[in-house]
Amino acid sequence: MSNLFDSPYWETIVRISTIVLVLMVTLFFGKIVKRLMLKKQTFVKVDTTQYKFLSHFLAGVIYFVGIIFAIYMIPTLRGLATSWIFAGSGVMAIVVGFASKHAFANIVRPYKKRIIMELKSRI
């Protein structure tokens, strides 16, 4: 008498159901992050464009990690998932670099003007 768990397809069924579960959890967490960020937007005094960018960026990171994790669970695609991690990290580093350049410029600009005004007043 054959057992259901001895079937050669059992491992495939478990793997596919785990991948579907990972993708569902990823979508769930991505939507929760977006909702929480949109609810907190009224309490935080930040530019709405920057806040929406941050919420979309965080949701994108969650989606990216979930999809990479789901792809990594497929044995034949593990090499592809690893290369996507490195490529995605490089792209994210470039995006964060450009975004932080503008953010730091907005933070430093008022202080720079004040320093220049103080130097002019001393001369």
Domain ranges of the chain: 4-122
In this prediction, residue 24 carries a pLDDT of 92
Q: Which residue type is seen at 47?
A: D
The percentage of the chain sitting over the pLDDT mark of 70, rounded to a whole number, equals: 68
User: Which of 50-54, 56-60, 96-100, 117-121 has the lowest average pLDDT?
Assistant: 117-121
Fold of 4-122: Helix Hairpins (1.10.287)
Q: Is the pLDDT of residue 119 over 60?
A: no
Model-wide pTM > 0.85: no
In this prediction, residue 1 carries a pLDDT of 45
Q: Is the pLDDT of residue 32 over 80?
A: yes
Q: Is the pLDDT of residue 111 over 80?
A: no
| Residue 67: how many other CB atoms lie within 10 Å | 16
Is the Cβ–Cβ distance between 34 and 61 less than 8 Å? no
Mean pLDDT of the region 39-61:
75
Mean pLDDT of the region 113-122:
60
Residues 87-115 as b or e (16 or more Cβ within 10 Å = b): eeeeeeeeeeeeeeeeeeeeeeeeeeeee
pLDDT confidence tier of residue 28, bands split at 50, 70 and 90: very high
